[in-house]
A and B are shown apart, each in its own frame.
Chain A
Amino acid sequence: MTAETKANPFAAIFFRDLKLAFRHRSEIANPLLFFLMVATLVPLGVSPESQLLSVLAPGMIWVMALLASLLSTETLFLSDYRDGSLEQLVICPQPLWQVVLAKVCAHWLVTGLPLTLFSPLLGLMLSLPAAGFMPMLASLALGTATLSMIGSVGAALTVAIPRGGLLLSLIVMPLYMPVLIFGASAVQQAVDGFSAVGTLAILGALFAFSCMVTPFATAGALRVSLHG
């Protein structure tokens, strides 16, 4: 049991959140189901014609991924807030931004990553041209991670507000826009026969920037929320 005594809090929080996520499997499944359902409905509602669908696919998949990610963001701190664990996390000796980072990493692993891994299936359903698949996977992996980071700030600000979901959307939507624009255009560029590397690099830069800034912003927001 020596590993236990030396366990670092980052790993402890990370693995606890993963374990909790697997105990609440329906919460992981919800955004994924939403993602799949919309993809099924688009051909029915718009047109099953593959030519038209392939034009829509890059933007469509990205918009759905963004909304699915938004759906799951609200739960990031909510259960910890309700049962008092959040207060314990805030007063633990570990710096709060590290706690936040651990939680966001675990959250991305159970929400953003499954979305990314499911996206080729959606690509097939919406007849995305073959050239778009790899850029789609790459842009979604980077993009959903950025969305989780940005979303954590909104989730922290609204955690103490009853039914704060709407407010959360209003806060994070404008910040999601650059990610959506560059993410969708990376796929579009690849489909049009250009290299998507430049746009993916911009997405990477957005991700790096959000990694540096949002854990601190989220930590501050959590303190403000607990003050209420």
Chain B
Amino acid sequence: MNSTPLVECRDIAFERDDVPLFSGVNLRLLAGKAIQVTGANGAGKTTFMRILATSLAPSWGEILWRGQPLVRQLQDYRSNLLYIGHSPAVKAALSPRENLRWFFRLAPSREQLSSVVIDSTLARVGLDGYGDVPCHTLSAGQLRRVALARLYLSSARLWILDEPFTSIDVEGVGNLERLMAEHLAAGGGLLMTSHQQLRLENIDILDLEAFAGGCSQEPSPPHHDRFQHGQRQSAGFQGAHDR
């Protein structure tokens, strides 16, 4: 397997209103691997996911995509990325079918999007027969299933999923885990937050709480202090990563 990681984070730190949320987060995601980001509520999991999805800029640190700094190949990164955040981004006024077409147009996908493909995808996420009803009549779990249907259509190599299992039932979680395993086997990468124990091979845990910045420091430490602090912490993580 190629030893250049798909995504690499170096010393990522984020502060909001001068209060550091986390700092010195290092991460190496190899192709075919998954990393589950854990941490208590408020540890910054969603923020970290949004940083990796390029929707937020980190206050500090660098992200590399296939060994090259992200800033120079942002478009390439974004077209290889599938991010599903906290809110499902499903339009309530559109039907699941229309939402899928829209997602498809927004990002490159695996195959041509014929109505047959849409029907079979909807069937796979358990929305058979709901293709043409407006999404505001669907339940929270069904809405999330519409968003997760993107995973079946996507050709993105990197999946960033923020709590994908929220309001999904046991069977749905099983299906998703199988899909994730397929994605990893095909050489994709997966970064996700979840409070659940995942039944996936090749999965590492990144505990964001270990990088919590500012817990034992003044509210606004100078930059170089935070940098060193991060270095020290990241050494601890590297050990966990190599297990």
Whether a CB of chain B sits under 8 angstroms from the CB of A12 is: yes
Q: Is the CB of B113 within 8 A of A1?
A: yes
Nearest-neighbour CB distance to chain B for A216, whole angstroms, equals 16
The interface size of chain A toward B, counting residues with CB under 8 Å, comes to 26
Whether a CB of chain B sits under 8 angstroms from the CB of A92 is: yes
Whether a CB of chain B sits under 8 angstroms from the CB of A226 is: yes
Nearest-neighbour CB distance to chain A for B194, whole angstroms, equals 18
The B31-75 residues at the A interface (CB cut-off 8 A) are 50, 53-57, 75
Q: Is the CB of A9 within 8 A of B114?
A: no
B-side contacts of A82, CB under 8 Å: 87
The A1-54 residues at the B interface (CB cut-off 8 A) are 1-2, 4-5, 7, 9, 12, 16, 19-20, 23-24
Whether a CB of chain A sits under 8 angstroms from the CB of B94 is: yes
Q: Is the CB of B104 within 8 A of A20?
A: no
- A226 and B94 in contact, given A9-B105, A9-B106, A93-B78 (Cβ under 8 angstroms): no
Interface size class of B (residues with CB under 8 A): 20 to 34
Q: Is the CB of A4 within 8 A of B55?
A: no
A-side contacts of B83, CB under 8 Å: 87-88, 91
- A93 and B91 in contact, given A4-B113, A227-B56 (Cβ under 8 angstroms): no
Nearest-neighbour CB distance to chain A for B213, whole angstroms, equals 18
Whether a CB of chain A sits under 8 angstroms from the CB of B131 is: no
Q: Is the CB of A20 within 8 A of B88?
A: no
Whether a CB of chain A sits under 8 angstroms from the CB of B101 is: yes
By beta carbon, the residue of chain B nearest A89 is B106
Binding site for A on B (CB under 8 A): 50, 53-57, 75, 78-79, 81, 83, 85-94, 98, 101-102, 104-107, 112-114, 134
Binding site for B on A (CB under 8 A): 1-2, 4-5, 7, 9, 12, 16, 19-20, 23-24, 79, 82-85, 87-93, 226-227
Given contacts A2-B112, A90-B55, A93-B78, 6 further A-B contacts (CB under 8 A): A4-B101, A4-B112, A5-B112, A16-B102, A83-B89, A83-B90
